[in-house]
Amino acid sequence: MKTECFDSPFELKFLSSDTGVFEGYASVFGVTDNAGDIIRPGAFAKSLRQTRADERLPPLLWQHDPAQPIGAWLDMREDSHGLFVKGQLFLNDIALAREAWTLLKENVVTGLSIGYRVRGSHRDAKDGLRVLTDIELLEISMVTFPANEFARIRRVKSQLAAGDVPSARDCEAVLREAGFSRKRAKGLLSHGYKALLTDPREADDQNDADTGELVAMVQGLAAAIRTLT
């Protein structure tokens, strides 16, 4: 069986001030990654039972590099939402762990990625997605660039709330979360994202009704994005 990776939104729930301890969700059920895979509840159950029997949780790595462990997982369990994890970075002993801790606190490192082997899966008859039902969890890594763009949604919302304009890539991630297909999200941004930076009054001054309409549409989408939870 080949080793695969699945990047997921890292929902941070707790971050200590100085001990290197953090907790949250390393994987969220029902989220589709860029490879078209989706993890169902119960997929981790068998693997977690085995790790408990072995009294050894999978390693905490940096960027999936087995030569760069930066801490240890203290707790790992599955609930109805996803894979809950509690970890500790070895701040006193590993320089890279201290760097990772700073990047985590400053929201530069925004994702976790699980390394696994598939033991049970099937194709969804409706959309063709590969549904993972039983996976062997090998490791969980802190990653700088999670392939799953949904990890950036919280940052986009905070930027919009502050009146700033997020990047086109970040906006695409949020549009995907709102229900747009990848093709539709990319199409909208390629034709209309620059209009988000344009004052509608400027479009009217230029007698460009089409541009003014596009501005109103994109700004309406921005308002809808702010309502996402």
Which pLDDT tens digit goes with each residue over 39-59?
999 999 999 999 999 999 999
Please report, for residues 91, 128, 197, the alpha-carbon distance to residue 177 in angstroms, rounded to integers and kept in the order given.
35, 19, 22
pLDDT at 86 over 70: yes
Output the DSSP codes for 15-33: E-SSS-EEEEEEEETT-B-
- C-beta separation of 222 from 166 below 8 A: no
Q: Where do the structural domains in the chain lie, given as residue ranges? A: 4-147, 152-226
Contacts of 35 (CB under 8 A, 6+ apart): 130, 147
- What contacts 121, CB < 8 A, 6 or more positions away? 130, 131, 132, 133, 134
pLDDT tens digits for 121-171?
999 888 888 999 999 999 999 887 655 444 444 455 555 556 666 666 667
Q: Which of 4-8, 58-62, 125-129, 217-221 has the highest mean pLDDT?
A: 58-62
Which residue did the predictor score with more confidence, 140 or 194?
140
Residue 172 reports pLDDT greater than 90: no
pLDDT at 207 over 50: no
Q: What is the pTM of this model?
A: 0.62
The identity of residue 194, as a single letter, is K
